[in-house]
């Protein structure tokens, strides 16, 4: 399978994402500049963390107009896997691929620390390697990570098991402790914590590696069936 890590001006976690994927023993990962519209050659797409376009206007508000997002939209419609991490999550909400918005942390602080996550859904391509209720240790690094959505959207997320992860101790005021959500089809995940920074013991946790391994298993099976 082939992975794409989309790089926007201001991305700073692209190399981390590439390294996490290569830790699986998979070298078929490429960094793709945001001006590239055609992402059809890739089976999984990562929108990494950082400060795309300096977070001007709102985080992700300008990046969502990048040519590469047309390719991301098309890939999502085709059922390919798309994950947005931190700033990538913000881009996905701005692009309408995920509901809700990421607001300024309620404490008005930039939070950079390890947090504990609870797995809420293990039926998605991203979380199939975990157990429901399993606790993960994954770092965060954000100033605008407070997830917000209206009550109807929250009810739909709950009812359709689209909340992938929630915080054990809420670091930013996210409604219902939400740390990551899925789209309706289940092939797009947005999360504020950084699984690519939790793939080795020296990082303090390997809990994020299983997420990328789950993506790889799913994509390879889809390629085989296709």
The answer to whether residue 223 scores a pLDDT higher than 60 is: yes
| Residues with active-site annotation | 86, 194, 196
Angle, nearest 10°, between helix axes 209-225 and 14-22?
70
Domains of the chain: 3-225 (3.40.50.880)
Specify the pLDDT at position 224: 59
The answer to whether residue 221 scores a pLDDT higher than 90 is: no
Q: Whole-model pTM? A: 0.96
The answer to whether residue 226 scores a pLDDT higher than 70 is: no
Q: Closest Cα partner for 171 from 86, 104, 111, 91?
A: 111
Specify the pLDDT at position 225: 63
Task: Kindly state the tokens that stand for 59.
Answer: 């985080």
Specify the pLDDT at position 206: 97
Write the pLDDT tens digit of every residue in 195-209: 999 999 999 999 999
For residue 26, name the pLDDT band (cuts at 50, 70, 90).
confident
CB of 134 closer than 8 Å to CB of 119: yes
């Amino acid at each position: 399978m082939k992975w794409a890590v989309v790089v926007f001006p201001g991305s700073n976690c692209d190399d981390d994402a590439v390294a996490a994927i290569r830790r699986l023993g998979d070298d078929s990962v490429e960094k793709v500049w945001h001006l590239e519209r055609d992402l059809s050659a890739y089976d999984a797409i990562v929108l990494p963390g950082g400060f795309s376009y300096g977070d001007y206007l709102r985080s992700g508000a300008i990046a969502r107009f990048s040519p590469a997002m047309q390719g991301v939209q098309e890939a999502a419609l085709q059922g390919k896997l798309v994950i947005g991490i931190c700033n990538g999550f913000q881009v996905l909400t701005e692009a309408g691929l995920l509901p809700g918005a990421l607001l300024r942390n309620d404490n008005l602080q930039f939070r950079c620390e390890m947090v504990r996550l609870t797995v809420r859904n293990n039926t998605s391509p991203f979380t199939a390697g975990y157990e429901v209720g399993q606790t993960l240790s994954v770092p965060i690094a954000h100033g605008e990570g407070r997830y917000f959505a209206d009550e109807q959207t929250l009810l739909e997320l709950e009812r359709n098991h689209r909340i992938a992860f929630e915080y054990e101790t809420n670091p930013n005021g996210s409604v219902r402790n939400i740390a990551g959500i899925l789209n309706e089809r289940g092939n797009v995940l947005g999360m504020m914590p950084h699984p690519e920074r939790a793939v080795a013991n020296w990082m303090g946790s390997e809990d994020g590696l299983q997420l990328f391994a789950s993506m790889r298993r799913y994509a390879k099976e889809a390629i085989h069936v296709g």
